[in-house]
Amino acid sequence: MSRNVRVSFVIPVRNDAARLQLCLRSILRNQQTPNQVEIIVVDNGSTDDSPEVARRLGARVFSAVSGRVAELRNFGALQATGDVLAFVDADNEIAGGWLYAALERLRGANVGAVGALYEAPPDGTWVQRTYGQLRGGPTDQQNAHWLGSGNIAVTRTAFELVQGFDTRLETCEDVDFCQRLRAKGLRIISDSRLRSVHHGDPSTLWEVLTSERWRGRDNLRVTFRRPVVWASVPSAIVPILQTIFMALAVVGLALLPGQPRVGGGVLLGALVAFAAGTATRVIRAAFRGGAGRVELLPVFLVASVFDLGRALALVTRAPHRAERPRATLATS
């Protein structure tokens, strides 16, 4: 693949003008030759000046009255003219050298997609910094099971081979997309040079709870789709167990007035079991962070709220925003 190949960046946005501007400027700084980069912005009913910001910075703007993010990305890909499709979210800011590294890695044998884990904003809240520690950071270069769809580049051939993102999914569409690429014999590569700061990381514990309650809604559905990626199964099993422990805690509370000893034992056991499940995330974060770099108490607190949100996602429905009609897409 030539370094001069045309790359189409596809960016869904809704009421995020300030961060969209950071995103677009970071993309333009990556352009190595004139007209190498095409920017497609799919505006999902913004009431701020997101579309105007995009146009001022040279993007082609399309309007979507509504629609799942998978639909918006697929629609943007249909409008794109590049041989490489780069999906970057409006609240992500990519690093210098991102484009060069993406094209270099996509020249490898059987490579379908490249990207990296998001980084937390350097000036973010303690919750954002801790959330970033739980997620982990970009690795040097290695095969990956999946990459986040807010920071990924894929060849058009590979994208069309799997027919894009599954528009039936509200969340976890990126996990499903990568699983289907791998099922076709294509490699998913994580490369730390494709750094991306995610300014949209939850900034408070309440935002962690609500965002994970939404993100976890399609977790089971995607995890157990064929072909099953066994390395991903724990991410589905843990919320199931945590939901059971939460239910036992409620039972314990209900028993307290009439049977305080039994109720107290059930409640305590359920809370200890829930904490033990959360502790596995803390241990992983500690090993990733290295000695002295991870503050265990904040990590445990954020991880507990994370697990609570993922468990609630199994028994409640949490929309990302107010439910709206299905997508109507048009050029603007």
Residues in contact with 65: Cβ distance below 8 Å, sequence separation at least 6, in sequence order:
45, 324, 325, 327, 328, 329
Continuous segment of H or E residues that includes residue 37? strand 37-43
- C-alpha separations of 6 from 55, 85, 110 in Å: 19, 9, 20
pLDDT of residue 92: 97
pLDDT of residue 217: 85
* Burial annotation 7-27 (CB, 10 A radius, 16+ → b, else e): bbbbbbbbebbebbbbbbebb
pLDDT mean over 98-109 = 95
Considering only CA atoms, which of 245, 300, 299, 242 is closest in space to residue 268?
245
Residue 289 banded pLDDT, cuts 50, 70, 90: low
pLDDT of residue 326: 38
Residue 328 banded pLDDT, cuts 50, 70, 90: very low
Cα distance between residue 10 and residue 77, in whole Å: 7
Specify the pairing of strand 7-13 against strand 37-43: parallel
Q: Is the pLDDT of residue 322 over 60?
A: no
Least confident interval from 76-80, 134-138, 197-201: 134-138
Domain boundaries, the chain: 7-204+326-331, 230-315
pTM over 0.85: yes
pLDDT of residue 319: 63
Cα distance between residue 118 and residue 147, in whole Å: 9
Residue pair 239/314 in contact by the 8 Å Cβ criterion: yes
Considering only CA atoms, which of 196, 207, 68 is closest in space to residue 131?
207
Specify the pairing of strand 92-94 against strand 37-43: unpaired
pLDDT of residue 2: 55
Residue pair 133/119 in contact by the 8 Å Cβ criterion: no
Residue pair 5/83 in contact by the 8 Å Cβ criterion: yes
Q: Is the pLDDT of residue 1 over 80?
A: no
pLDDT of residue 137: 75
Mean pLDDT (the chain) is 89
Task: Say whether domain 7-204+326-331 belongs to CATH 3.90.550.10.
Answer: yes
Q: Is the pLDDT of residue 73 over 50?
A: yes
pLDDT of residue 283: 85
Return the half-sphere exposure (C-beta side, CA atoms, 13 A cut-off) of residue 131. 28
Q: Is the pLDDT of residue 69 over 50?
A: yes
Q: Is the pLDDT of residue 324 over 90?
A: no
Cα distance between residue 128 and residue 140, in whole Å: 23
Least confident interval from 36-40, 261-265, 295-299: 295-299
pLDDT mean over 240-246 = 94
Percentage of the chain modeled with pLDDT above 70: 92
